[in-house]
């Protein structure tokens, strides 16, 4: 089998695993659990029961290089062995210089040597502060992105990890790596260390200006305007009020590029970065310099070894965030999202509407037993989203993953085409999917039932032949062909794929033809147009 890779299909990035297109039906485990093989033991069976095909797990710099130059990979090897034994693929999350805009996962020998590995300074001379985040006083300090020694040592450790994976993981259980975690600086829009100040006074690199101009169409309006009105060549003169953030994004991405490139030189797995979102705040209130959607063009120019940008979605506006992260042909890859009662509908929508490469709720091992409200409050998250107070039902989530998992070859064969579409209750105004002369709609207000998250995915295999995955919705069909204005169902089968073959369990007709789908259900039918 070949190494997992990113390929381009009609201008879209697809992921090949064991030589076949792959979708990570996944979850991210709580980050400390993967530091211990005994802690991981009970997690694997839960993942199998949920019909996930992969799991995202943290591997930290602290864990693999506890003393400088002394590497240990026993836990990494154990994680790979455990995953392989349970038939799951792994995505590793490299917690190096950054984890949630702080450096808590860096080794002690890095943390205790601030001369060699200086911290970022939110104010001149001050490398530590308390972030007031949604009423939570979060202590924060992080390594400076402007220290070559930090970059060199982070890249050296990551390269050692990748070299080891190449030797140990010969059957490719590890399929990709996230490089760092939620990079950026909290507490100020830019680092004010002497090293950073020096760079800030320099000219903006021409390659950045060129790259931004090449993407003027997608650039945030303030950046576009700044470029057209620049009064000089330095960061402040070119980018005006956005200068601090662009500057931080460029140098943070440069650090990440050095780390990712060093890893890829050893073992070129797909690599991506994740992002703490803007959430209506100012740079520094969210990590300044991280790959937020308005900085994607900057990151793309600085970090060509990064294959895509991935949003961590804990905000109520799930659909808007997905839209923002699919500009620049960026494939939707959700490495973290809230594990609340809306997760199942969002999974269906992400795959069906955005042709996502990954959907991974955070803290997946706690599904059904803990709302994100308590966890969110503990990490300073905005907990005003009412959805956070609903639990995701484990069996429902497992069933959807089972149905989707069996359909991966079929789904990915339609990725990048209008043959695969989906709608969700969160966008009630967009509840119709159009396939040539047939429209399939889904109503989400089901008479007699309380409002609840739902989604509907439809896949056209041949003209007028469909599979439909419905969850808490009422699908309907109509003709878009004025010559044949009436649409009727021919045989509707309910069933699922087993070992790659459609296996019907029964036929729906009469009362049941008025589809009113509560539990996740997969249907196969043909539409007949007449009149």
* Smallest separation (angstroms) from ligand DGJ to the CB of 379: 5
Identity of the residue, 165 or 375, whose beta carbon is nearer to ligand DGJ in the bound complex: 375
The stretch near ligand DGJ (CB under 6 A) out of 47-55, 164-172, 279-287, 375-383 is 375-383
Site string for ligand DGJ, 122-161 (x = CB under 6 A): ----------------------------------------
Cβ proximity to ligand DGJ: between 181 and 431 the closer is 181
Strand 474-479: give its sheet, edge to edge. 432-435, 438-443, 474-479
Please give the residues from 190 up to 249 whose contact with ligand DGJ meets the rule CB under 6 A.
none
Q: Which is nearer to ligand DGJ, 235 or 308 (CB)?
A: 308
Near ligand DGJ by CB under 6 A: residue from 169, 182, 365, 460: 182
Look at the alpha carbons of 174, 175, 179, 180 in this order and tell me if their dihedral is positive or negative: negative
Coil, helix or strand for 169? coil
For tokens 């799991």, the residue is 55
Using the Cα atoms of residue 73, residue 161, residue 145 and residue 213 in order, give the sign of their dihedral: negative
Report the residue from 191, 245, 297, 336 that binds ligand DGJ according to the rule CB under 6 A. Answer: 336
Between 290 and 470, whose beta carbon lies closer to ligand DGJ? 290
- Considering the complex, what minimum distance in angstroms separates the CB of residue 249 from ligand DGJ? 18
CB atoms under 10 Å from CB of 104, counted, come to 15
Does 62 bind ligand DGJ (CB under 6 A)? Our answer is no
Task: Work out whether 181 is an interface residue with ligand DGJ (CB under 6 A).
Answer: yes
Which of 315/523 has CB closer to ligand DGJ?
315
Quote the least distance from Cβ 372 to ligand DGJ, whole Å: 7
Please identify which residue in 133, 267, 362, 467 interacts with ligand DGJ, judged by CB under 6 A: 362
Measured from the CB of residue 521, what is the shortest distance to ligand DGJ in angstroms?
A: 32
CA distance 298 to 212: 7
Residue 296: CA atoms inside 13 Å, Cβ hemisphere, count? 28
Q: Which of 245, 257, 312, 460 binds ligand DGJ (CB under 6 A)?
A: 312
Q: Between residues 368 and 405, which has the closer beta carbon with respect to ligand DGJ?
A: 368
The alpha carbon dihedral of 414, 19, 175, 296 has a sign of negative
What are the structure tokens assigned to 303, written together? 């970090």
Q: Which of 354, 365, 421 is nearest to 46 (CA)?
A: 365
Torsions phi, psi for 211 (to 5 deg): -65, -40
Binding window for ligand DGJ (CB under 6 A); candidates: 220-228, 299-307, 373-381, 392-400: 373-381
Residue whose CB is nearest to ligand DGJ in the complex, by number: 182
The residue among 100 and 330 lying less far from ligand DGJ, judged by its C-beta, is: 100
Q: Which two tokens stand for residue 288?
A: 């300044």
Alpha-helix residue ranges (DSSP H) falling in 356-501: 372-378, 394-406, 408-413
Size, binding site for ligand DGJ by CB under 6 A: 10
For ligand DGJ, the closer of residues 227 and 273 by Cβ is 273
Q: How far apart are CA 488 and CA 478, in angstroms?
A: 8
């982070």: which residue's tokens?
A: 154
Tell me the torsion sign for CA atoms 381, 256, 211, 184.
Answer: positive
The answer to whether 370 contacts ligand DGJ (rule: CB under 6 A) is no
Of 1, 7, 281, 379, the one binding ligand DGJ (CB under 6 A) is: 379
Q: Which is nearer to ligand DGJ, 63 or 459 (CB)?
A: 63
Distance of closest approach, residue 196 Cβ to ligand DGJ, in angstroms = 24
From its phi and psi, is residue 67 left (phi > 0), alpha (psi between -120 and 50) or beta?
A: beta
The DSSP element (H or E) to which 16 belongs, if any, is strand 12-17
Supply the minimum distance, in Å, between the C-beta of residue 381 and ligand DGJ.
6
Site string for ligand DGJ, 81-100 (x = CB under 6 A): -------------------x
Nearer CB in complex with ligand DGJ: 158/276: 276
CB of 27 to ligand DGJ, least distance (A): 12
31 binds ligand DGJ (CB under 6 A): yes
Place of tokens 């955005």: 354
- DSSP, res 116: T
Query: Would you count residue 337 as binding ligand DGJ (CB under 6 A)?
Result: no
How far apart, in whole angstroms, are the C-alpha atoms of residue 189 and residue 286?
Answer: 9
Instruction: Kindly give the residue spans of alpha helices, DSSP state H, lying in 267-371.
Output: 296-302, 318-324, 343-354
C-alpha–C-alpha distance, residues 63 and 71, integer Å:
9
Q: Which of 299, 349, 293, 297 is nearest to 325 (CA)?
A: 293
Question: Which part of the chain contacts ligand DGJ (CB under 6 A), choosing from 76-84, 184-192, 374-382, 486-494?
Answer: 374-382
Residues that bind ligand DGJ (CB under 6 A): 31, 100, 181-182, 312, 336, 362, 375, 379, 381
């Amino acid at each position: 089998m070949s190494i997992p890779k990113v390929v381009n299909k009609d201008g879209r990035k697809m992921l090949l695993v064991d030589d076949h297109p792959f979708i990570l039906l996944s979850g991210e485990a709580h980050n400390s659990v993967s530091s211990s093989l005994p802690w991981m033991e009970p997690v694997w069976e839960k993942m199998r029961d949920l019909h996930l095909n992969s799991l995202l797990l943290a591997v930290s710099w602290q864990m693999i290089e506890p003393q400088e130059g002394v590497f240990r990979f026993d836990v990494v090897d154990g994680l790979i062995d455990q995953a392989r034994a349970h038939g799951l693929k792994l995505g590793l999350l490299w917690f190096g210089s950054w984890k949630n805009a702080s450096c808590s996962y860096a080794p002690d020998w890095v943390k205790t040597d601030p001369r060699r590995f200086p911290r970022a300074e939110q104010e001149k001379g001050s490398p530590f502060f308390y972030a007031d985040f949604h009423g939570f006083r979060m202590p924060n300090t992080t390594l400076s992105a402007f220290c070559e020694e930090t970059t060199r040592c982070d890249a050296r450790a990551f390269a050692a990890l990748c070299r080891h994976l190449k030797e140990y993981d010969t059957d490719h259980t590890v399929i990709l790596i996230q490089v760092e975690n939620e990079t950026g600086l909290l507490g100020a829009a830019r680092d004010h260390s002497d090293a950073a100040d020096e760079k800030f006074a320099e000219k903006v690199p021409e390659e950045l200006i060129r790259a931004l101009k090449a993407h003027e169409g997608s650039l945030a309006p303030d950046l576009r305007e700044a470029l057209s009105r620049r009064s000089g060549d330095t960061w402040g003169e070119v980018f005006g009020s956005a200068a601090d953030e662009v500057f931080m994004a460029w140098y943070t991405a440069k650090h990440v590029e050095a780390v990712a490139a060093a890893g890829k030189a050893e073992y070129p797995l797909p690599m991506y970065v994740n992002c703490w979102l803007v959430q209506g705040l100012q740079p520094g209130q969210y990590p300044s310099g991280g790959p937020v959607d308005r900085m994607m063009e900057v990151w793309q120019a600085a970090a060509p070894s990064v294959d895509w940008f991935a949003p961590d979605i804990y905000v109520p506006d799930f659909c808007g965030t997905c839209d923002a992260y699919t500009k620049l042909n960026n494939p939707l890859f959700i490495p973290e999202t809230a594990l609340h009662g809306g997760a199942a509908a969002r999974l269906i929508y992400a795959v069906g509407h955005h042709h996502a490469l990954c959907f991974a709720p955070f803290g997946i091992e706690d599904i059904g037993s803990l709302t994100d409200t308590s966890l969110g409050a503990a990490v300073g998250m905005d907990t005003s989203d009412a959805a956070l107070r609903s639990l995701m039902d484990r069996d429902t989530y497992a069933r959807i993953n089972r149905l989707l998992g069996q359909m991966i070859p079929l789904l990915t064969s339609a990725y990048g085409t209008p043959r695969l579409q989906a709608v969700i209750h969160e966008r009630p105004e967009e509840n119709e999917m159009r396939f040539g002369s047939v429209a399939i709609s889904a109503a989400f207000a089901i008479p007699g039932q309380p409002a609840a998250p739902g989604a509907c995915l439809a896949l056209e295999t041949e003209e007028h032949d469909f599979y439909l995955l419905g969850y808490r919705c009422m699908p309907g069909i109509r003709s878009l062909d004025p010559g044949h204005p009436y649409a009727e169902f021919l045989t509707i089968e309910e069933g699922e794929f087993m070992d790659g073959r459609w296996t019907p369990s029964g036929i729906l007709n009469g009362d049941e033809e008025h589809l009113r789908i509560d539990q996740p259900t997969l249907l196969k039918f043909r539409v007949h147009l007449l009149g």
